[in-house]
Chains A and B, each alone.
Chain A
Amino acid sequence: MMDRSGNVVGVAAPLEWDDVDTDQIVPAEFLKVVEKKGMGRYLFYRRRYGQDGAERADFVLNQPAYRSAAILVAGANFGIGSSRENAVWALLDGGIRCVIATSFGDIFENNAARNALLCVRLDEPTVARLRSLARKGAAFYIDVPAQTVTAGSEVTAFQMDPHAKKRFLEGRDEVSTTLETCGPAISGYEARMPAWAHPSSVSPVE
């Protein structure tokens, strides 16, 4: 859940494995969907459901305590692999507002910032401690303006990219901002773009 000031409060689910790639977050077969809404249905699809389509009891988000989780406490290299933004949309649509990990895939982190999914990066001992607090069902509170995670009675500060922070707290239409503030710079480059940087004249579309 996100409160009015843009902070995240809620249950945190521990993910017990590293290298959660975006293929695991949303399998490729669901990339054919052309709407963002409802993507939460496919979140962690292969881990969530067995081959018979029934929920797997061993998957954390299927357990009663974590069904409404708003936070994931992962490990190393969360969101590596494919550039699919569907991974971010599925997490958000599935109720996840924040992922805590020791590192993130670059494109994933970029996509997350553009969709106000919070990525909190902390060192391994801290993440391990938070994971064990999540296992015990501690309440989590992430104060974005102050850049702290409160879990149970433990408060941890985290670093945050200023831009991601702004995007998270304000949200804004980046295209309009770019065109308003940088329109002349874009046209300026286009006027001086070297001839060789342009695709040379070609046969028409087949």
Chain B
Amino acid sequence: MGSSVLSKIWDAHAIGEDEDGRTLLYIDRHLTHEVTSPIAFEALREAGRKVRRPDLTFAVTDHNVPTHDRDLPVESGMSLRQMELLRQNARENGVMLFDYESQDQGIVHVIGTELGLTVPGITLACGDSHTSTHGVLGALAFGIGTSEGEHLFATQSLWIKRPREMRIKVNGRLHAGVYAKDVVLKIIRDMGTGGAIGHSVEFCGETVDSFSVEERFTLANMIVEGGARTAIMSPDEKVLNYVRGRRFAPKSSEWDAAAASWRELASDPGAGYDAERSFDVSRLEPQVSWGTNPAMTVGVTETVPSPADAKTERERVSIERAVGYMGLTPGMRVTDIPVEVVFIGSCTNARISDLVEAARFVRGRHVRQGVRALVVPGSQAVRAQAELMGLASVFRDAGFEWRNAGCSMCIAMNGDELKQGQRCASTSNRNFENRQGTGGRTHLVSPATAAAAAIEGRFVDVRELGRV
């Protein structure tokens, strides 16, 4: 019997157990942001405590920061208050903060990996459900609530029930124009929103191996929408190359020892799993969500489902509700759905490779009249790199708004939001009712499909555009 990558990291960090079968895990890295931290810091202060390990704790403002010009004032009083509170709390506790004006600012899951705060073999936690993203680097990462955040501040550890382990194998060569986003949407569509509840998902298989590290982030990020507790992957040479040289990663003298330990982390061939799934993606087409949760997804050449096709009464009710909310006609073709807003952003799909793929479908063309399109880079570093590569002007020339980094319209807390009834092609991860603004309608897609929708004013099959 071999061990999985999860077991190896788990065993190295398990420092206690209670009579209820929970384990106390030491957490090597705690990332925090302005929205879920204020009450945790407040509770800490009330108890007369301080952050135990400020050197392992990092803060960033991302969820509700404006993405317009950084020289303009922050208009929302509530946003300002949370940003100011984080500043105070970070200062009081000696925690490093990547603040609004910093060149390092960005979405917590984008900067964590980009700055080398996340490295293989560590445990990491953050008060945000998409913390699973960091698992790509072979780290064991957990999204936590505010009370757990307080516990972590005070003790640098968390009581956790060991997750069951599910291995998802993805095989097959993707057709050009089909991306990691389409793969994960398809997996969630097949498994349902609760398919992986209680599990940590380990991704493997030839498709995953062939993916770049950034493509893998999209998979691990979004599998949370299938109910997963977290995601993890065996770190390979691509991961080591990705980590090497990053700001907080081990430096020259320590690198060799670190790399040697990390190479030991990969799951052993005989490792056992509680559940296994496999997917063949060689015939996968681009995916578009039509409903109000990420499992409500179809291929771009398919049609919107009809309540009449439901197998159970509850399913019928949920399709009817979703189609009604989304303002769609059952049976209509996905490619006949008009799009009014396009959002390219979020921790799922706003890294440099995402912008490169989106730009392919934009270069030399113009956003359809009446469509509002935004690109919100995942971090200021991604933004700077995109400017250097000339991508920013591709988007700007085509009529896209070119923004500063933040969560923006993924969660619509910062003023970037849909109006009542507006329909959006979005590269984010959640299409829940009102997620992108009250009454807003979200279709989850890859950056390529989003970019093409901006140009055409409706969904199109990007495989037919001859740009890849």
Contact = CB atoms under 8 A, between A and B. Distances in A.
A105 interface: yes
A61 B155 CA distance: 40
B465 interface: no
Nearest to B420: A51
Contacts of B63: 31
Interface in B400-425: 411-413, 420
Interface in A43-92: 46, 51, 75-77, 80-85, 88
B67 interface: no
A188 interface: yes
A84 B157 CA distance: 20
Interface stretch (B121-129, B210-218, B282-290, B350-358): B121-129
B411 to A, nearest CB: 5
B198 A106 contact: yes
A196 B121 contact: yes
Contacts of B156: 186, 190
B68 to A, nearest CB: 18
A129 B98 CA distance: 51
A200 B157 contact: no
A85 B157 CA distance: 19
Interface residues on B, range: 35 or more
Interface residues of A, number: 65
Given A46-B438, A185-B24, A80 B147 contact: no
A175 B145 contact: no
B16 A199 contact: no
Interface in B56-103: 56, 58, 63-64, 76, 78-79, 81-82, 85, 96-99, 102-103
Contacts of B39: 34-36, 85
A152 B302 CA distance: 47
Given A19-B193, A34-B81, A179-B155, A28 B227 contact: no
Contacts of A201: 251
B219 to A, nearest CB: 18
A81 B433 CA distance: 12
B12 to A, nearest CB: 9
Consensus secondary structure, chain B interface: loop
A114 B293 contact: no
Interface in B13-46: 13, 15-16, 18-22, 24, 26, 28-29, 35-36, 38-39, 42
Contacts of A115: 147
A31 B430 contact: no
Contacts of B104: 206
A83 B143 contact: yes
A161 interface: yes
Contact of B82 (A32, A111, A186, A189): A32
A154 interface: no
A90 B3 CA distance: 41
A76 B248 contact: no
Nearest to B49: A175
Contact of A34 (B13, B85, B102, B227): B85
B190 interface: no
Determine which residue in B121, B150, B155 has the highest number of CB atoms from chain A within 10 A of its CB, and name it.
B155
Contacts of B194: 76-77, 80, 103
Contacts of A17: 314, 317-318, 321
A175 B13 contact: no
B317 A16 contact: yes
A38 B318 CA distance: 31
Contact of A114 (B78, B145, B432): B145
Given A196-B258, A200-B247, 10 more contacts: A17-B317, A23-B432, A28-B411, A31-B35, A32-B76, A107-B144, A111-B146, A179-B155, A190-B26, A190-B53
Interface of B: 13, 15-16, 18-22, 24, 26, 28-29, 35-36, 38-39, 42, 47, 49, 53, 55-56, 58, 63-64, 76, 78-79, 81-82, 85, 96-99, 102-104, 116-117, 119, 121-122, 127-129, 143-148, 150-151, 154-157, 159, 161, 192-194, 197-198, 225, 227, 229, 247-251, 254, 257-258, 261, 293, 314, 317-318, 321, 411-413, 420, 430, 432-435, 438-439
15 contacts: A17-B317, A17-B318, A21-B293, A24-B434, A27-B434, A32-B413, A35-B39, A80-B227, A81-B225, A83-B127, A85-B147, A175-B154, A182-B155, A199-B117, A206-B104
The 4 closest A-B CB pairs, nearest first, are A196-B258, A163-B20, A32-B78, A111-B145
